[in-house]
Amino acid sequence: MATQPAARALIFTADDFGLHPRVNAAVERAHRDGVLNAASLMVGAPAVQDAIERARRLPSLAVGLHLVLADGPATLPAHEIPALVGPDGRFGDAMAKDGCRFFFLPHVRAQLRREIRAQFDAFAASGLPLDHVNAHKHFHLHPTVLSLIIEIGRDYGLRAVRLPYETSAPALLKPWIALVRARLDRAGLAHNDYVVGIEHTGAMDEAVLLDALAKLPPGVGEIYCHPAEAGDGPITPTMAGYRPVDELDALLSPRVAAALKAAGIATGGFADVFGQPAARRGAQASRAPGAQPS
């Protein structure tokens, strides 16, 4: 069973680690000089090797797997998973349609299983301890995806998964979140009790963080964000409306640090908060993280 955490605890996580050098630089800076505890790694992203090298210099940064099954690059070559990706090797963003295909079509599920294992393999090849797993755009709320994460994750020492439940979530979503919570509990996987970051995705600025810190409910919270350093244009076209520099500034804010200290709650990655070591796995992937299909 998952280890019991402190009565109140908080994890600050940056998603999309490895997506772009500007993201990676922001993660390193926010961890060294700010309140950031953790980062979720996209193992098939263009700047993943740079992210891994930075993480190796930051042993106190808790790194997990940000599983990409929508709107991003796959790890396996396109010809191995043609039911999942286009010729360019990227997942689309029609998540409702793809979710139905995951659930109803056995050949699609078989390819999905291989891709999820490949992403776990790629993370293992990095040599970084596995602190947690979550999915890009919260696709692990899908029952098939969650089942495969739980099943495959056992082989890699998986111990913690993000529960993407925000206290302001619509009432109709709460029964589904309760089912996900129950499945994680039955699997003995640690999870947060709530997140902050869904309602204000791409706009987790200082005001949002200060407001969140002033209203923390009981339990383990995860504040997740998408920081990046300044540069020309958005990180990706789908992030055109995001304010990643404001999010970085918020993580570096002395006011946020002071509010966190005043709250007097435990902070860290999932392994830190739940009092368990992050998982290591000796097996190496056949393809290096970030390698592109030949």
pLDDT-based confidence at 3, cuts 50/70/90? low
Ramachandran category for residue 290: left, alpha or beta (phi over 0 → left; psi -120 to 50 → alpha):
left
DSSP state for residue 81 in the 8-state scheme: -
> 294 pLDDT exceeds 50?
no
> 288 pLDDT exceeds 60?
no
In this structure, what is the dihedral angle of CA atoms 257, 260, 266, 267, given to the nearest 10 degrees?
Answer: -50
Q: Compute the distance between CA of residue 180 and CA of residue 186 in angstroms, rounded to an integer.
A: 10
> 279 pLDDT exceeds 70?
yes
Q: Compute the distance between CA of residue 163 and CA of residue 3 in angstroms, rounded to an integer.
A: 16
Q: What is the pLDDT of residue 276?
A: 74
> 286 pLDDT exceeds 60?
no
For the domain spanning 8-273, the CATH number is 3.20.20.370
DSSP string, 141-188: GSHHHHHHHHHHHGGGT--BB-----TT--GGGHHHHHHHHHHHHHTT
Min mean pLDDT across 22-26, 88-92, 285-289 is at 285-289
Q: Delimit the domains of the chain by residue range.
A: 8-273
> 227 pLDDT exceeds 80?
yes
**Average pLDDT of the segment spanning 102-130:** 98
What are the start-end ranges of the H helices in the chain? 21-33, 48-56, 95-104, 106-126, 143-153, 174-186, 206-214, 244-252, 254-263, 270-273
The SS3 call for residue 230 is: coil
**Average pLDDT of the segment spanning 145-167:** 97
**Average pLDDT of the segment spanning 255-260:** 98
Half-sphere exposure of 27 (CA within 13 A, CB side): 35
Q: What is the pLDDT of residue 277?
A: 75
Ramachandran category for residue 16: left, alpha or beta (phi over 0 → left; psi -120 to 50 → alpha):
left
> 216 pLDDT exceeds 80?
yes
Q: Which residue from 175, 162, 235 is spatially nearest to 12, judged by alpha carbons?
A: 162
CB 35 within 8 A of CB 267: yes
Q: What is the pLDDT of residue 287?
A: 33
Q: What is the pLDDT of residue 290?
A: 37
Q: What is the pLDDT of residue 282?
A: 43
CB 212 within 8 A of CB 223: yes
> 180 pLDDT exceeds 90?
yes
91-110 confidence digits (pLDDT tens): 999 999 999 999 999 999 99
DSSP state for residue 140 in the 8-state scheme: G
In this structure, what is the dihedral angle of CA atoms 198, 248, 46, 236, given to the nearest 10 degrees?
Answer: 60
189-204 confidence digits (pLDDT tens): 999 999 999 999 999 9
Global pTM reads 0.91
10-60 confidence digits (pLDDT tens): 999 999 999 999 999 999 999 999 999 999 999 999 999 999 999 999 999
Report the percentage of the chain scoring pLDDT > 90: 89
Distances (CA, A) of 207 to 76, 95, 202, 257, 259: 40, 31, 13, 13, 12
